[in-house]
Structure 1
């Protein structure tokens, strides 16, 4: 599949691997892919994010991702559903962190690094890459660009897509901008 990646898409993946390595993570997650996408300039994906007003909100997006990590990767929709049942996720997080310290519910990153020490990709990150390929095939295009990785992130329902949507980058908005 990687032979179909453009230079920009390869740079996003390489940036995600580098970001994971710097953080000491044994795996590359969807979050690493998203943050690497947000680091890009003058690519199709970067132009779409800029047109939608997302690029200038990188710090807010990073905060949203950190808040989701603090909730154990739980989405806002999940949090709202629990609130409807009278369960306060914020209260649970506060209690757990009070006993076990800050970030105690941060989702564990399952998986191990490759024997070379390079981070491996989580199942979620692999799903994003696979979805990007499916987007390309459905659009009858030949190569996978960073814009397809962005669509892949939005198509795979998760916290990263939820955070992007909160700032105006829904799948439909990105597709329309392309």
Structure 2
């Protein structure tokens, strides 16, 4: 599949690996892919971020992602579902942090590691986003996977990243419209949902 990636999309993947390394993460996640997309300049993605006001609200996006990590990676939808069962995630987070310190529910880097592996594996969600980007590209009739397809894939997959993007006005439809004009009503949308 990576042979279909444009140079820009490969740069995004490389930058995502760099984000994972700088933060000490053991795997490359969807969040790292999104943060790498924020680094793009002069592309459809950077244009979409500017058009949707995300370029000026990157700090807000990062804060929302950090808050989700603080909740152990639970999305707002998952938190609300648990609340429906009588489980108050905010209370649990507060109690755990009172006992073990702030950020205790975040996935931790294994202590005592002095050497980092040369390659970081991709988390299942990140792998699924990369696979979804291929389906979106094929659905749009594109021969290569670009950074625009990666962003659409992140908006199409359920989870924290798509939720944070949607909360900031970057839904699949809004992003597609910002990058390509009128929303695709055919294959691209069908590929995103499949």
- TM over 0.5, yes or no? yes
* Higher-RCO chain (CA-CA 8 Å, sequence separation at least 6): 1
Spell out the pairing of 1:138-177 with structure 2 (5 A cutoff).
138-177=139-178
TM-score, scaled relative to structure 1? 0.91
RMSD, aligned α-carbons: 1.7
Q: CA deviation at 1:108?
A: 5.6
Q: Secondary structure at the match of 1:121?
A: coil
Gaps of 5+ in 2: 110-115, 181-194
Q: How many residues align?
A: 174
Q: Which residue of 2 aligns with 1:121?
A: 122
Q: Which residue of 2 aligns with 1:29?
A: 29
Q: CA deviation at 1:48?
A: 1.0
The superposition leaves residues 95-151 of structure 1 with CA deviations (integer Å, 9 ceiling, x where unpaired) of: 011112111111468xxxxx9522111111110100000001111111111110001
1-structure distance, mates of 2:67, 2:117: 32
TM-score, scaled relative to structure 2? 0.84
CA contact (8 A) 1:26 1:120 kept: yes
Gaps of 5+ in 1: 110-114
Q: Which residue of 1 aligns with 2:188?
A: none
Q: Which residue of 2 aligns with 1:40?
A: 40
2-structure distance, mates of 1:155, 1:166: 14
Which stretch has the larger CA shift, 55-64 or 75-84?
A: 75-84
